[in-house]
C-alpha cells in the first residue's frame, strides 16, 4: 500500500515569511518529491478553540487556503480539503475520546502550559480552557488516524500530539483488534529559524513579522525597519550575524547569495543591503501575491477546490469508518 503523508494547517494569524520558510516551503517540497499520497488540510475546527469571531474565522480560513494555493500547492497532486467538510473526523473523534484516558490529556504540553501559567498567576488552573482546547489532541488523532496516515510532518511543538495519536491508535487496536496504522511524525531538521525585524525569531507573538502578501510598499517599509548595528558604509560586515543576509539567502539564487557575501566583505551599506533584499523578496513574491489576491477575490473558487478535495478525502475516510464501526459493534 501507498505511504500516506498527512498534515493539518491551522488558520492562525497573517502568514509571515518565517511560516513560509519554516513550514510551507518544506511541506510543498515534500509533496512535490514524494511518491506517496499526500493529504494537506485546513484545520479550521482546531482554530475554533481560540478563534471565536465569525468574520475572522471565515477570513483566516480562506486566507490560509489561498496562501498555500498561491505558493504552488497543486490540488491535483495533493488532496487539499477543509477539516470541517469531513463529518467522519468528528464521529471518529468521539469514538477515540471513549478509549482515551483523561490523564493522557492532562499530560499534553499545550494544556499543561496554560495550567502552569494559571497557577503562577494564582488563578483557577482551568481558567480560559475550553473543552475543545482540552481535547484538542483527540481531534488531531482523528484527523491522522482516519486516513491511516504513516507520516505526519509537523513543527517541533506538535511532536507530542502525533505521539498521542499513536498511543490512542495502539489503545484502540488493543481493545478492538488491528484497525489503525500507527503514525510517525517527521520534523525538518535543517530548517533555519528566520529572524524578525528585531533580530529575535520572527513570530506573531513578538510583533516583529514581515507578512508574506503585503503590498510592495509595505514590504519595503518593513524591510527598512530591520534592526542593524552601527557599522558604517565601507567597513566589512559579518553575513553570519545579519538578519538581512539570513533573509536574503532564502529568496536569492545561490550565485546572488555569494555575490552578496562579497559585498558584505567590501562594506556594503545597510541601506543598500536592505534595498537589495527588497528587490529579491519582491520579485519572488510578485507572482504568488497576484495569485493570492485573485484567489481571495473569488472565494467560491476556493470552495470548489476544497470541496473537490473533501470529496476525495471522504471516499477514503468512509473505508476507515466502516471498519471502525464494525470493530466497535455498531453494525
Ligand atoms: P508564530 O510563531 O508566528 O505564532 P506558528 O507557531 O503559528 O508561528 O508557526 C507555524 C509554523 O511556522 C510552524 O511550523 C513553525 O515552526 C514555523 N515558523 C514560525 N516562525 C518561524 C520562524 N521564524 N522561522 C522558521 N519557521 C517558523
Ligand atoms: N495542531 C496542528 C498545529 O497546531 C494542526 C493540526 C491539526 C495537525 N490536525 C493535524 C497537524 C493533523 C498534523 C496532523 O499546527
pLDDT digits (tens, 9 = 90+) for 111-128: 999 999 999 999 999 999
> 172 vs 119, 177, 301, CA distance in Å?
34, 7, 39
Q: How far is Cα 144 from Cα 148, in angstroms, rounded to an integer?
A: 7
Q: What is the DSSP letter of 178?
A: S
Most informative mutation of 41, 51, 93, 161 for ligand 2 (most atoms within 8 A of CB): 161
Q: Measured in angstroms, how far is the CA atom of residue 43 from the centroid of ligand 2? A: 7
For 276-293, write each residue's pLDDT tens digit.
Answer: 999 999 999 999 999 999
Report residue 16: phi and psi, to 5°. -115, 175
Fold classification of 3-192+298-328 is: Rossmann fold (3.40.50)
Q: What is the pLDDT of residue 1?
A: 54
- In the predicted model, residues of the chain with pLDDT beneath 70 are 1
Q: Measured in angstroms, how far is the CA atom of residue 323 from the centroid of ligand 2? A: 24
Instruction: Return the residue whose CA atom lies nearest to atom 26 of ligand 1.
Output: 22
Atom of ligand 1 nearest to the CA of 154: 14
Q: Measured in angstroms, how far is the CA atom of residue 57 from the centroid of ligand 2? A: 17
Instruction: Return the residue whose CA atom lies nearest to atom 1 of ligand 1.
Output: 203
Contact criterion met (CB below 8 Å) for 159 and 185: yes
Q: Measured in angstroms, how far is the CA atom of residue 136 from the centroid of ligand 2? A: 9
Instruction: Return the residue whose CA atom lies nearest to atom 9 of ligand 1.
Output: 19
Residues 6+ apart with CB under 8 A from 169: 141, 145, 179, 180, 181, 182, 183
Give the domain ranges of the chain: 3-192+298-328, 213-293
Q: Do domains 3-192+298-328 and 213-293 have the same CATH topology?
A: no
Q: What is the pLDDT of residue 190?
A: 77
**Residue 320, all three cell numbers:** 476507515
Fold classification of 213-293 is: Tyrosyl-Transfer RNA Synthetase (1.10.240)
Q: What is the pLDDT of residue 252?
A: 96
- pTM greater than 0.85 (yes/no): yes
Amino acid at each position: 500500500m501507498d505511504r500516506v503523508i498527512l498534515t493539518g494547517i491551522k488558520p492562525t494569524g497573517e502568514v509571515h515569511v518565517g511560516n513560509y520558510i519554516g513550514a510551507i516551503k518544506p511541506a510543498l517540497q515534500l509533496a512535490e518529491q514524494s511518491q506517496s499520497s499526500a493529504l494537506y488540510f485546513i484545520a479550521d475546527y482546531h482554530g475554533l478553540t481560540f478563534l471565536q469571531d465569525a468574520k475572522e474565522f471565515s477570513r483566516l480560513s480562506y486566507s490560509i487556503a489561498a496562501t498555500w494555493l498561491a505558493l504552488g500547492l497543486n490540488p491535483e497532486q495533493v488532496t487539499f480539503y477543509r477539516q470541517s467538510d469531513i463529518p467522519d473526523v468528528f464521529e471518529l473523534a468521539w469514538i477515540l475520546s471513549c478509549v482515551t484516558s483523561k490523564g493522557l490529556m492532562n499530560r499534553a504540553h499545550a494544556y499543561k502550559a496554560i495550567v502552569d501559567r494559571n497557577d503562577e498567576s494564582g488563578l483557577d488552573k482551568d481558567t480560559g480552557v475550553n473543552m475543545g482546547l482540552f481535547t484538542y489532541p483527540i481531534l488531531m488523532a482523528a484527523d491522522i488516524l482516519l486516513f491511516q496516515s504513516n507520516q505526519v510532518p509537523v513543527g517541533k511543538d506538535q511532536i507530542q500530539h502525533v505521539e498521542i495519536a499513536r498511543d490512542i491508535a495502539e489503545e484502540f487496536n488493543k481493545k478492538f483488534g488491528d484497525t489503525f496504522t500507527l503514525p510517525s511524525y517527521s520534523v525538518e531538521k535543517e530548517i533555519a529559524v528566520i529572524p524578525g525585524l528585531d533580530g529575535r525569531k520572527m513570530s506573531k507573538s513578538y510583533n516583529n513579522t514581515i507578512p508574506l502578501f503585503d503590498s510592495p510598499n509595505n514590504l519595503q517599509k518593513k524591510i527598512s525597519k530591520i534592526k542593524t548595528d552601527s557599522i558604517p558604509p565601507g567597513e566589512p560586515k559579518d553575513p553570519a550575524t545579519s538578519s538581512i543576509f539570513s533573509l536574503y539567502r532564502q529568496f536569492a539564487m545561490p550565485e546572488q547569495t555569494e555575490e552578496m557575501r562579497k559585498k558584505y566583505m567590501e562594506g556594503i551599506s545597510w541601506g543598500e543591503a536592505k534595498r537589495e533584499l527588497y528587490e529579491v523578496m519582491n520579485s519572488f513574491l510578485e507572482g504568488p501575491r497576484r495569485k493570492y489576491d485573485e484567489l481571495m477575490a473569488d472565494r467560491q473558487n476556493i470552495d470548489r477546490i476544497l470541496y473537490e478535495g473533501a470529496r476525495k478525502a471522504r471516499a477514503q475516510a468512509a473505508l476507515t469508518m466502516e471498519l471502525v464501526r464494525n470493530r466497535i459493534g455498531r453494525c
